[in-house]
Amino acid sequence: MDYRKLGSSDLELSAITYGAFAIGGNMWGGNEKQDSIAAVHASLDHGVTSLDTAPFYGMGLSEELIGEAIKGKNRDKLQLLTKFGLVWDGSNNGKGDYFFDASADGKTFPVYKYASKANIIKELEESLKRLGTDYIDLLQIHWPDSTTPIDETMETLNLLMEQGKIRAAGVCNYDLSQLKEAEKTIQLASNQVSYSMLNRAIEKDIVPYAVEKNMGIIAYSPMERGLLTGKYFKEAKLQSDDHRNGYFGQFSAESVKALLDKIEPIAQNKNASLSQLVLRWTSLQPGISVVLAGARNATQAIENAKAAAVSITADEMKFINDAILEM
**CATH of region 3-247+274-311, choose from 3.20.20.70, 3.20.20.100, 3.40.50.300, 3.30.70.1070:** 3.20.20.100
| pLDDT the model gives residue 251 | 74
Computed over every residue of the chain, the mean pLDDT equals 92
How much is the pLDDT for 319? 96
pLDDT score for 235? 66
pLDDT digits (tens, 9 = 90+) for 88-119: 999 999 999 999 998 777 788 899 999 999 99
What is the pTM for the complete model shown? 0.93
- Domain positions in the chain are 3-247+274-311
Dihedral angle at the C-alpha atoms of 281, 285, 288, 293, nearest 10 degrees? -10
Across the range 195-213, mean pLDDT stands at 96
Q: What is the pLDDT of residue 287?
A: 97
Give the mean model confidence (pLDDT) for residues 246-262: 81
> DSSP letters along 19-53, please?
E-SGGG-TTBT---HHHHHHHHHHHHHTT--EEE-
User: What percent of the chain stands above pLDDT 70?
Assistant: 94
**Quick one: average pLDDT of 202-211?**
97
Q: Strand pairing partners for 86?
A: 113
Give tens-digit pLDDT for 117-135: 999 999 999 999 999 999 9
Closest CA to 228 of 280, 298, 296, 306: 280
| 3-class SS of residue 14 | strand
Instruction: Tell me 202's DSSP state.
Output: G
Chain segment 260-318, per-residue pLDDT in tens: 999 999 999 999 999 999 999 999 999 999 999 988 899 999 999 999 999 999 999 99
Q: Which residues are catalytic?
A: 57
